[in-house]
Amino acid sequence: MSYEIYLSYNNRAEEMQLPVNPESIDVTNKGNGKTYDIIGHGGSTHETRAGEVNIIKNPSLKEVTFSSLFPATVYPFVIVKKLYEPMHYIRTIERWMSTKHPIRFSFAGRYSEQLQKQGFADIHDLNFPASIEKFDWKEAAGSPGDIEYTIGLKEYVFYSARQLKVKKDDNGEPAIWVLPTVRPDERIRPDHYVLLENETLLDVAMKFFDQDSERSRDIQKLNGLTDRQARNLKKGDYLKIPPY
C-alpha cells in the first residue's frame, strides 16, 4: 500500500506533505471505562454479580506518534515533488506549535491494484484536527544536513456551547430545539477588521463565518452598535470580530 501524510494549518492555508514516510505509525485509541466496587448481593447470573463492575464511557482522544527524516538530499525514497531544506520544516512546525492552535493530520493510503481486486477498500485514511504534543529533532549521524525527528499528536475536539432556538411545536406550544452541529471551522480569524468601500455587517459575517449571515448580529453586539449605527457604517470603520 502506498500512502501520503500531510500536516496542515489554518484550514489548509498552510500545508506540508512529509517528504519521507515513516516506517511505522503508532495510533492509540483507548477506551475510557471506569471500574467501581459494588457492595452486597448481586443478581442471579454471573453478569449481574456484585463486586467490580466496569462503566463504559466515551473513548479517549486518539494519539499518533511517528518518527521520520527531513532530508537535505533528494534520496530515492523521497516522495515529494518539491523538497524544502530541512530547517524549513522544523521552523514551520515550531511556529505552528507557538500559536497554540490545532493543526490537521491527514494520512491517506491506496492499496495495490491486486488488493483492490480482492475487495480491499480503495482508500484507508485518518483525518482529524490535532495538537502537537511532542516534537524532538536532531541532525542525523553520518548524514550531514539531514534531520531526524519524532512527533506526537493528540486528537483535538472543537468545542462550543450548543445553539438553542425556541420554536412552536405541532400544538402551537413553545419548545426548545437544539440546532444541528456543523463541521467545525478551523480558520483563524483576525480579532479586528477595517471595512472596505460599501461593505456591511452582513458582508463581514459572510466573509469570516462560512457564509452565515446571522453572525452579523454577533458582530453588532460585540461592537456595541445600535441598529442605526450598524446601517450607517462606512469605509475605514474598525470592527472587532468574534473569535468563534
SS3 sequence of the chain: CEEEEEEEECCCCEEEECCCCCCCEEEECCCCCEEEEECCCCCCCHHHCCEEEEECCCCCCCEEEEEEEECCCCCCCCCCCCCCCHHHHHHHHHHHHHCCCCEEEEEEEECCHHHHHCCCCCEEEEEEEEEEEEEEEEECCCCCCCEEEEEEEEECCCCCCCCEEEEECCCCCEEEEECCCCCCCCCCCCCEEECCCCCCHHHHHHHHCCCCHHHHHHHHHHCCCCHHHHHCCCCCCEEECCCC
Percent of the chain at pLDDT exceeding 90 = 35
pLDDT at residue number 126: 83
Q: What are phi and psi of 216, to 5 degrees?
A: -60, -30
Residue 34: C-alpha distances to residues 45, 49, 60 (Å) = 22, 17, 12
Task: Name the residue ranges covered by the structural domains of the chain.
Answer: 2-155, 189-240
149-169 tens-digit pLDDT: 999 999 998 765 556 666 777
Burial letters 76-110, b for 16+ CB under 10 A, else e: eeeeeeebeebeebeeebeebeeeeebbbbbbebb
Q: In angstroms, rounded to a whole number, what is the distance separating the alpha carbons of residues 214 and 184?
A: 17
Highest mean pLDDT among 2-11, 73-82, 172-181: 73-82
pTM: 0.61
Say if residue 206's pLDDT is above 80.
Answer: yes
pLDDT at residue number 67: 96
pLDDT at residue number 158: 73
102-126 tens-digit pLDDT: 999 998 876 556 656 666 655 557 8
12-70 tens-digit pLDDT: 889 999 999 999 899 888 776 666 666 655 555 555 555 676 666 677 889 999 999 99
Nearest to 65 by CA among 20, 25, 7: 25
Average pLDDT value over all residues in the chain = 81
73-85 tens-digit pLDDT: 999 999 999 999 9
Task: Name beta bridge partners: 167.
Answer: 175
CATH assignment of 189-240, among 3.30.43, 3.80.10, 3.10.350, 3.30.40: 3.10.350
Contact 68, 138 (CB under 8 A): no
- Per CATH, which fold does 2-155 belong to? Elongation Factor Tu (Ef-tu); domain 3 (2.40.30)
Higher pLDDT among residues 87 and 198, named by residue: 87
